[in-house]
Structure 1
Amino acid sequence: MVTFTTAVTVRETNATCDAYEHQDTARILLPLFYSLILIIGALGNGLALAVIIKHRKKINSTTLYSTNLVVSDILFTTALPTRIAYYALGFHWPFGETLCRLTALIFYINTYAGVNFMTCFSIDRFFAVVHPFHYNRFRRVKHAKYVCIFVWFLVFSQTLPLLVQSMSKEEQERTTCMEYPNFEAIPHLPWILLGACLIGYIIPLVTILACYSRVSCKLYRTAKINPTTERSGINKKAINTIIFVIAVFVVCFTPYHIAIIQYMVKKLQLQGDPPCSELQYFQKSLHYTVFLMNFNCCMDPFIYFFACKGYKTTILKILKRQVSVSLSSAVRSAHEESSREVGESNMITLSKPLK
């Protein structure tokens, strides 16, 4: 009976709790952060897509997974301008419920697609190194296409129900969009979110770590038997790709899912809502960990850099060309400056009166 009364009191308190008390700071930082994602994500993924199209005749499973990840990231950047405006307005959404649902759908599509295709990258590298004799059969583009179709089916089955769920909420000072308090009325929400964390984060992370462990053991044994294999570009490529994928998971996805799991477990333990201060802290942590999760849109081009030879070659050519142009401009400027100084010196000499 005491527990029930406490839960009701906390719920009533949270009904008037301002979960957006950090809006003054957030309306400056979040638009800045998401503008950075928009610029880097659009440029990096646009360049990746151009390279993939240019080398489309040499497509393999790795570049096919890259293409799908690029499309997902580019789609995500189209939803960023409205989110930037939303944060700049202090968590106020003036664009209507339909657009709110659409941007939420794009957001979750990018999240789940990113996780699943990164897992595909790791499994692809696993077969390339650990089972090289079976690799060609699994690596064939035909099989990779079926995998991509299944991934998109899985992603849309997870996200399309969002279209029938209200995403915005009218409050006293604002209309919020895609915020956690907007979903609290959903029955069994803690269990739903914990299940989403299991399927969308824990299982893929365990899969990626398992692939990395097997690849590391295989490379170690191979190098021990035949030291010349250390020079193999394929092995280095595999290890670099999976290490970077793990780094992206740890940096981008882990903080968000830890925040979700921690708060949902606390809700289940209390059999109700935690105090207002904890809700405020949770909401604040969500805003910044979600930004960190979305930052994977900027990190994905680095995965292409390690995994796709054509992308790496093109980037290096662009950098060399840029350095060459910069050096040429510097040399030309120095030469012009030197010529101007000589001319000015001659003018001064000529202008001096003869004695």
Structure 2
Amino acid sequence: MPVNDSNANQTCDVFIYKESARIIFPIFYCLVFVISVAGNSLVLFIICQKKQKMNSTTMYLINLAISDTLFTLALPGRITYYIRGFDWPFGDFLCRLTAMIFYCNTYASIAFMTCISVDRYLAMLHRQRCQRLRKSKVVRGICILVWVVVLLETSPLLLKSTLEDRTSHRTCMEFSNFDGPKMAYGLLLGCIFGFCLPLGLILGCYSQVSCKLYKAAKENPVTSKSGSNSRAKNMILLILLSFIVCFSPYHITIMQFTVRRLYNVPSCEELKTLKMFLQLHFHFGNLQEHAGE
């Protein structure tokens, strides 16, 4: 295993597109900010207008909107950061807090998207047997548990500085600021439990629901066209596609680079390529996620 080469990495300027980023990224995040505020306001307004008792799916959607709102609160700081050319002016603690909010949003969104998929799966395949798991009291407990787990997962970011002094600026929440073997293992574990496992659950739910609908279509073509069944399948499919588009590129890039990083010291060109791909995946993933929600 190679020694920590964070000092060597500091000599490699990965911010090769700084001037372009000062224009593109602030515009991009302003767009995400507007979409997120408008989308979440609309979701919460529609939910508040409903007179009937909230069901399990609605409760998960509310928590998804809350997660989105937390993310929105961190955007002004990031917009300022990019306008200043990757220079963070707000101090170490706010940099740590911003990192925690960003990752908290990512993994809370993943968790609640998974909850919605499992909820639709239970509603279709185990409606009577698992009815208790879909009651409001139980769903509230699940939502609280999700937030507790996500906060525990992301709270270590408050304990480690993600602010790094460079030649002419102070970077915040860049991947090179998470250097070191221990952090690499932590990132891999986070990707496995925060991304791979939920993806497997959503794929499993969709395949089981699709199999049931396929069998029902063979046995009774009329019954198989039930609106509720189709909506459940379409909802899980939409979540699966959103999940793959929003989260897969970023996590796959992180995992493959981190594994290679444990055995080989990355070259400057590799670091520049990683920086470019992470920025593209992270930014477009955020746009897709908040546009989709």
TM over 0.5: yes
1:176 match: secondary structure: strand
The answer to whether 1:254 aligns with 2:229 is: no
Structure showing greater radius of gyration is 1
Distance 2:243 2:191 in 1: 13
1:179 CA displacement? 0.9
Matched AA of 2:152: S
- Identify which of 153, 159, 163 aligns with 1:164: 159
Change (3 A) 1:183 1:85: same
Q: Which moved more, 1:224-233 or 1:194-203?
A: 224-233
- Give the direction of change, closer, same or farther, for the CA distance of 1:137–1:35 in structure 2 (3 Å limit): same
Spell out, residue by residue over 1:299-346, the C-alpha distance to the aligned partner (whole angstroms, 9 max, x if none): 443xxxxxxxxxxxxxxxxxxxxxxxxxxxxxxxxxxxxxxxxxxxxx
Aligned to 2:214: 220
Q: Which letter maps to 2:13?
A: D
What stretches of structure 2 of length at least 5 have no aligned partner? none
Give, in whole Å, the separation in 1 of the partners of 2:280 and 2:18.
Answer: 12
Equivalent position of 2:277 in the other structure: 285
Query: For the Cα contact (< 8 Å) 1:126–1:215, is it kept in 2?
Result: yes
Rounded Cα–Cα distance in structure 1 between residues aligned with 2:51 and 2:91: 40
Q: Is contact 2:35-2:291 (8 Å) kept?
A: no
Q: Give the aligned partner of residue 60 of structure 1.
A: 55
Letter in 2 for 1:106: I
How far apart are 1:91 and its partner, in Å?
0.6
SS in 1 for 2:13: coil
Hey, what's the Cα distance between the residues in 1 that align with 2:289 and 2:270? 30
Partner of 2:71: 76
Distance apart, 1:13 and its partner CA = 4.5
Task: Identify which range, 228-237 or 117-126, moves more after superposition.
Answer: 228-237
Confirm or deny: 8 A CA contact 2:181 2:262 kept in the other structure. Answer: no
Decide whether the 8 Å contact of 2:88 with 2:172 is kept in 1. yes
1:213 shift after superposition: 0.3
CA 1:246–1:166 in 2, change beyond 3 Å: closer, same or farther?
A: same
2:192 maps to a residue whose letter is L
Q: Give the match for residue 190 of structure 1.
A: 184
Q: Which has the higher helix share?
A: 1
Q: Please tell me whether the aligned partners of residues 13 and 276 of structure 1 are also in contact (alpha carbons under 8 angstroms).
A: no
Instruction: Report the AA paired with residue 207 of structure 1.
Output: L
Note if contact 1:41-1:297 (Cα within 8 Å) is conserved in structure 2.
Answer: no
Question: Does 2:202 align with 1:208?
Answer: yes
SS of the aligned residue for 1:132 comes to coil
Instruction: State the distance in 2 between where 1:145 and 1:98 align.
Output: 31
Contact 1:126/1:211 (8 A) holds in 2: yes
In structure 2, the residue matched to 1:327 is: none
**Aligned equivalent of 1:347:** none
Question: Is the counterpart of residue 269 in structure 1 residue 263 in structure 2?
Answer: yes
Amino acid at match of 1:229: T
d(CA) in 2 for partners of 1:237, 1:134:
21
SS in 1 for 2:285: helix
Q: CA RMSD in A?
A: 1.9
Map Cα deviations across residues 49-71 of structure 1 (whole Å, 9 max, x no partner). Answer: 11112226420100000010001
Quick one: structure 1 residues 12 and 67, their matched pair in 2 at CA, closer, same or farther if it must change by over 3 Å? closer
Q: Which residue of 1 aligns with 2:22?
A: 27
The alpha carbon displacement at 1:135 in A equals 4.4
Q: Distance in 2 between matches of 1:69 and 1:264?
A: 29
Matched residue, 2:140: 145
- Map of 1:42 onto structure 2: 37
Moved over 4 A (4+): 10-13
CA offset at residue 123 of structure 1? Answer: 0.3
Q: Is the 8 A contact 1:251 1:292 kept in 2?
A: no
Where structure 1 has 5 or more consecutive residues not aligned to the other structure, the ranges are: 302-355
- CA, structure 1 residues 11+71, in 2 after alignment: closer, same or farther (shift >3 Å)? closer
- 1:87 paired residue number: 82
Change (3 A) 1:244 1:59: same
Instruction: State the partner residue of 1:155.
Output: 150
Q: 1:11 to 1:106 in 2, by over 3 A?
A: closer
Tell me the CA shift for residue 245 of structure 1: 0.6
Report sequence identity in percent. Answer: 45
Q: Following TM superposition, by how much is the alpha carbon of 1:145 offset from its aligned partner in structure 2, in angstroms?
A: 1.0
Q: For 2:186 and 2:6, locate their aligned partners in 1 and report how far apart those are by CA, in whole Å.
A: 20
